[in-house]
Amino acid sequence: MSTTAQKNTLKGGEFIIKESQWQDVYIPEQITEEQQMLRQATKDFVTKELDPRLEELDKDPMKGVEVLDKAAELGLLGLHIPEEYGGSGQDLTSFSFVTEVLGWGHGISVAIGAHTGIGTCPILYYGNDAQRSKYLPKLATGEWKAAYCLTEPWSGSDALGARTKAVLTEDGKHYVLNGQKMWITNAGFADIFVVFAKIDGDDKKFTAFILEKNMEGLSTGAEEKKMGIKSSSTRQVFFNNVKVPVENLLGEAGKGHKIAFQILNIGRYKLGNGVLGGAKRAIGVAVKYANERQQFKTPIAQFGAIQGKLGEMAIRAWTAESASYRLCDLILQKEHEAKAAGKTMTEYLTVGAEEYQVECAIMKVVGSEVLDYVVDEALQIHGGYGFSEEYPMARSYRDSRINRIFEGTNEINRMLSIDALLKLAMKGQLDLMTPGMAIQKELMSAPEASSVDADDIFGAERVALKNAKKAFLLVAGGAVQKLMAGLQKEQEILMHSADMLMDIYVMESAMLRAEKLLQLNGLESSQIYVDMVKCFFFDAMDRIATAGKSGLVAYASGDELRMMLMGLKRFTKYEMINTKVVRRAVADKMVAANGYCFWD
C-alpha cells in the first residue's frame, strides 16, 4: 500500500479553491522496499531486453510479441490484475513505478502500455465475472495480447461520431459488426480487441464488445508507416459481418461512452506518469554526453548555456513528477474508500479516475509537454550528433511527439480540464461561486500588502499560490459570467485558462513535495529542492500572468478590462529569484553524478 489514511483529502478539482498540507500528499520518495525491487527489476528488463532490440523492433514491430512474452514472464503484464484473475494485485502506486520505468523503452513501451492499459482495463473494470474469468488470466500471462479499438477514419476526438455498426441477429444470439477502426496499437498481433460500435447505428446505443482475432470477418490492414514509435504495431482493423456472441457485449448496451471516457481518464494519468520516465532518462543521456563532449578543451557541461538547459530540464521533470504521484495517491485513496464501503469491483476501480478527471487531463498535458521539451533540448545539447540516427536522441525526438496526440490531443485535454471543472461547479460539487465573488469584492477595495511569514521557507510561495488561484478564478470566472454558454465556442479562452490551471496544480504539488522532504530529511539535504520550487514559481507566475492577459483581452474591454488587468497584475506578483544560479546548481549536481539524480 502506498500510504496510510490521510487527512484533508481534496475532491476532484478542489485544489483550485482550497489549500493542502504536506502531510496530505504522497511523494515517490515514500517507495517501499518491495516496490523498489520491482522498479529495479523493470529497469533491468528495459536495459537488457528492450534497449538491445530497438533497431530490430523498429524494422519489424511484430517481434514485439517476444518482448511482451518476456514482460509476462516477469509478471509485468498482470501487476494490476487481481490475484483471483491470475495477476499479482499490485496497487496503482506500484503499477505507476513500473509504468514510469517502462517509459524509457520507446515504441515498444507503447505496445506494453496498450496491452496492460486500454486493452486490458475495459475488461477488468467493466467485465462481468464470466468475462473476467475467461480473459484476464490469459491477458495477465501474455498468452493473449490486447488492443483497444475506438478511433475511426472519420472520428477521433469525437468518439461518438463512430460509424461502426452492430446489429442483433434474429435469433438474438449474436451481434453482427461492420465497420473499421484505425491507429490501433497492437493490432498486428492482438488476440483480443475491445471494439466500440453503435447498435443499429443509433447514437444512443454506443456499446463496447469483446472480439477475438479468430472471429470470421475480422482482419487488419498493413502496418502504418509512422514518424515515430515504429517498434509498436499500428494498423487498421476491419469488421466485415463479424458475428460476436451476445455474451461478449461489455458492460451495458448503450453505455459504451462511459467505458470509453473512463478508460481515457485513467489512460491520461498513466500516460502522464509514463512519459516522465522517458524524460528523466533523456536528461541522463544529455548529461553524460555533455560531460564527454569537449569544445575549446572544455566539457560542454561546464558552459552556462548548457547548464541552463540541463537545470531547466530537470526542474520541469521533477515538478511534473511531484504532481503525478500526488494524483496517483488521490486516485488510490478514493479506490480504497469505495472498496471499504462495499462497492463493486467496477465501482471501486473506476471511482478514482472519474473523481479526478480534471487532474488526469492536466497530467496528460503536463507530462507529454515536459517530455517534448526535454527531448528537444537534449537533442540540441547533442548538436549535430543529435540529428544523427547513430545517437539515441533522434529516436527519442520522433517517439515523443505522439504523446501530445494520444489519449485525446492536448488541445482537447486543456479544454476538458476547464469543462470538467465547470461541470463540477454546476452540479454543486465544487463551490467556485463563493471565492469568485470574494475576488470581485477584493478588486473593488484598496489592495492590502500580502503578509509573508519570514520564518516560513515557503512563505512567499504560499502567498503567490493563493494569489495565482485568485488570478485563475478572476480570468475563468469572468469568462463564465460574461459569456455564459457561449464560452464553449471561445476555445482560446479555455486554453489560456487551462494553462493557468495546470501551472497552479504543478506549483502546489512541487512545493508540498519539497516541504515534505524538508520534514523528512532536513534543510541541508533538501535545499536544492527548495530552490527548484522557487525557480519554477518564478517562471510559472510569469506564464500565469501572460495566459491571464491573453484570456482577459479576449472577452473584456474598456474600464472592465483595465480593472481586471490591475487585479491580475496584483495576483501574479512574486519575488525576484536568480534562476541562473538555481539552474546551474541543479546542473552541477547532475554533472557530478553523470546523470539525472533527483530521485531515479
Distance CA 515, CA 521 (A): 10
Which amino acid makes up residue 113? G
Distance CA 491, CA 214 (A): 44
Which pairs with CB-CB distance under 8 Å and at least 24 residues apart come from 178-181?
A: 178/239, 178/240, 178/241, 178/242, 179/152, 179/238, 179/239, 180/152, 180/153, 180/236, 180/237, 180/238, 180/239, 181/149, 181/150, 181/151, 181/152, 181/236, 181/237
Name, in order, each residue with C-beta under 8 angstroms of 515's C-beta and a sequence gap of 6 or more: 22, 458
CA distances from 213 to 23, 124, 165, 240, 256 (A): 49, 19, 18, 13, 21
- H-helix or E-strand containing 481? helix 459-483
Concerning whether 407 is annotated as a catalytic residue, the answer is yes
Which residue has 476547464 as its cell numbers? 418
Nearest to 96 by CA among 127, 73, 117: 117
Distance CA 258, CA 524 (A): 49
Cell reading at 595: 546523470
Cell reading at 113: 502500455
Which amino acid makes up residue 141? T
Strand partners, 340: none
Backbone phi and psi for residue 53, each to the nearest 5 degrees, phi listed first: -110, 10
Strand partners, 179: 239
Strand partners, 243: 176
Q: Number of helices and strands (H, E) in the chain?
A: 19, 10
User: Contact 115/186 with Cβ under 8 angstroms?
Assistant: yes
Cell reading at 589: 549536481
Pick the catalytic residue from 321, 355, 377, 407.
407
Cell reading at 341: 464501503
Distance CA 455, CA 2 (A): 32
Cell reading at 173: 444470439
CA distances from 537 to 161, 452, 532, 578 (A): 41, 16, 9, 12
- H-helix or E-strand containing 239? strand 234-245
Nearest to 457 by CA among 514, 402, 391, 407: 514
Instruction: State the catalytic residues.
Output: 407
